[in-house]
Chains A and B, each alone.
Chain A
Amino acid sequence: MRENLHRFFRAARGAGVKLSPAESIDAMRAVSKVGFADRTILRDTFLLTLAKTQDEKKALGDCFDLFFDQPAPQSPPENDKADEQDSSGSNSTSESPGDASGGDEQADGLGQLAQMLLAQDRNQISAAIANAASAASLSDIRYFTQRGIFSNRVLEQMGIERLRDDLDHLTATNPGLAERLTNALDGLRGTVRETVSQALLLYGREEAENLRNEILANAPLSRIEPRQVEQMRRLIRQIARRLRERYSKPRKRQRRGHLDVRRTIRRNAAWGGVPFLTAWKRRHRDRPRIVALCDVSGSVARVSDFFLLLIHSLHEVVDDVRSFAFSGHLIEVSDILEAKSPEEAMAEIMSKVGFGSSDYGNSFDDFEHGWMSAITPQTTVIVLGDARSNNLDPRADILRRIAERSKRLVWLNPEGRMAWGWGDSEMPRYATFCTVVRQCATAKQLERAVSDIVASYQ
């Protein structure tokens, strides 16, 4: 049973439940108290000790049902041909496979697997599959691409080599029996394939998802296919949540608990130094302020979509974020981002200023006239754009003034460094005024950039 528990833990990890050894020890202690007798109590116990969120509880519950409702060794192999012959075979259900094929002299020379298949003893076959599966460490399966490998391994463990020899031999000597055996083998293959698929379902989900996320995180945002957009959104939301967990709120905390000796003595001077009033140390922090200018013109629309999504989530981490979007001219979008759901906000912003051809000079001009006062010496200004201004006046002078007023000016460019300065790219001219210039084309780079920005306020 202990082995079974471990397999269940592995399955739980596969289902996406994060399990540390400490938790599995707790679960085992808990199980030792409640026993295995009552299935619902056992289920509750696992849900209580292992799952830490609602989502995990659901995943774990499903996993529990899948795991405990289908004890692999008992499930009959789904084999139509076997079923047809079953009536004759299972009537003489007997312990030894040699007995079942007793009428056949040929069978004596056959390997164990062949005898078992001919005997049509389902219980024995599924037990053999279960054994072979554990010998082939089937629970290590992680990716769907491994299905073939593991199927072969299981079959090897069952002795398919010997079976092939037997088949070769039988085709020459006893074609009828050989045909029966071939059919039975096909059935076996099907059953094994199914066992492997189920194991993949149990043990493989998380890794597969991680792999997909990993690929997605490193894929260029501008070239995400439509069907991946939703996944990407989810990924960005995950990133935002990570950032939020890491950076939320600490700025509001005041350090109290340490006596400020100097102030205490000064304050109590009137009583001859007898300290009636105590004074406490406090720590002051920067209040993060972020002003984000986001290019939403046609060429970078998709990237800025994701960027706006992240800014949207940033509103929860940093209280003072003001966001602006522009292509030909610039508008403030803070309210839209605050009030609406990400999707609605995105759609509205895009319909207002999106998809035009970009005019950085004009947009900077709009900003200087309308909102320059939003920038204080505590502000980090983030510009997201490819700096392609269609050969219009780049107005780098305004950017210089923005840089002078602000604490930092960060430029995130979705284009690769190689492209900067070529064609109508004004990046080199702008870069001279920026504190940091980053390429920011994938979700991973986006996360790192934003994380750096927020971390500098900690």
Chain B
Amino acid sequence: MAENGPSASIEAVERGLAAQGYIASRQIATAVYLAQQIEKPILVEGPAGVGKTELAKAIAAWRGLKMIRLQCYEGLDEAKALYEWKYAKQLLYTQILKDKLGEVLGGAPTLEAALSQLHDFGDVFFSKEFVEPRPLLQALEQPAGCVLLIDEIDKSDAEFESLLLEILSDFQVTIPELGTVVAVSPPTVILTSNSERDLGDALKRRCLHLHIGFPEQKLEERIVESRVAGISQTLRKQMVSFIHEVRTLDLKKLPSVSETIDWARVLVLLQASELGHEVVKDTLNVLLKYEADIEATMPQVSTFIAKASRQNAFG
């Protein structure tokens, strides 16, 4: 079954994502391809701002699917993620329907008959009508399928993970009162994590494990090229190589891809044609988010710029 050019398909993924402005490395494309082929969720780990969430958005846009996002946080539970009973509605209906009860049971001669008549109505209040679907259930109910993004899973509690297991392995959810809801068409699931907490083995076993690190220089240049219009090639090369130098420093928060893009936009806005000492000094706060980091980088700026231009000249 793999004969008709599996690599061509991985390239198709690469092209599809690139069309959405997401330049994927080979490994990312392979992961997305495999996720579709063997219907498995992808667990994406890596530092903040390397495009984990972007990946989900790009897949959704590329395949024309709706994206459903579940942002995780401490204390997130099934009532907020999966489904909830509309209790207030249930109680309100009970009150309103109280009068109806007389009519329904009016004809029953004995108490037992009334009871059995009541039984016939079954669990009216625990039916689909009274279920409030939350993101996970919504994702399963999309007729055309969707991209389900479970963002920052490491922020949630360990219990929440176990709640996800059924969805991740079988694309279904069991609601005790209703039975099992199976996905109409299996969603593409992307989980992201900043590794703040170690995730459980059970969860990891159900996913493809993708680690996105900082991109290589060439790749990052292509990302900037696709995201920032009107940036000259010289400037692009210089700034990316400058950022790669900055990443070698021991900083509190290393500049990520999203910051690279921001910086590129700022530089374009300032109409810089190449990296200069003044420009860098003025805009370093776009790249670095901590005062201490900026202070640590400042003395190196000249060296880095020199390095960047030199590399540019030769490479």
Contact = CB atoms under 8 A, between A and B. Distances in A.
A250 B159 contact: yes
Interface in A31-57: 32-35, 37-38, 40-41, 44-45, 47-49, 51-54, 57
B30 to A, nearest CB: 4
Contact of B92 (A38, A45, A257, A274): A274
B205 interface: yes
A90 B45 CA distance: 54
B248 interface: no
A273 interface: yes
A275 interface: yes
Nearest to A28: B38
A29 interface: yes
Given A252-B75, A253-B75, A275 B26 contact: no
Contact of A47 (B27, B88, B201): B27
A53 B74 CA distance: 23
A340 interface: no
Contacts of A250: 157-159
Nearest to B88: A278
Nearest to B204: A52
A285 to B, nearest CB: 13
B209 interface: yes
Interface string B206-243: 00111100000000000000000000000000000000
Contact of B88 (A30, A38, A40, A276): A276
Given A257-B79, A276-B88, A278-B87, A34 B30 contact: yes
A18 B201 contact: yes
Contact of A253 (B34, B38, B88, B159): B159
Interface of A: 18, 20, 22-23, 26, 29-30, 32-35, 37-38, 40-41, 44-45, 47-49, 51-54, 57, 241, 244-245, 248-250, 252-257, 259, 264, 273-276, 278
24 contacts: A23-B205, A26-B38, A26-B40, A32-B2, A34-B30, A35-B2, A35-B3, A40-B26, A41-B6, A45-B34, A48-B27, A48-B210, A52-B204, A52-B209, A245-B158, A250-B158, A252-B75, A253-B74, A255-B77, A257-B78, A275-B92, A275-B95, A276-B92, A278-B91
Interface of B: 1-3, 6-7, 10, 26-27, 30-31, 33-34, 37-38, 40, 45, 74-75, 77-79, 84, 87-88, 91-92, 95, 157-159, 197-198, 200-201, 204-205, 208-211
In the A-B complex, the 5 residue pairs with the smallest Cβ-Cβ separation, listed nearest first, are A275-B91, A257-B79, A52-B204, A33-B37, A35-B2
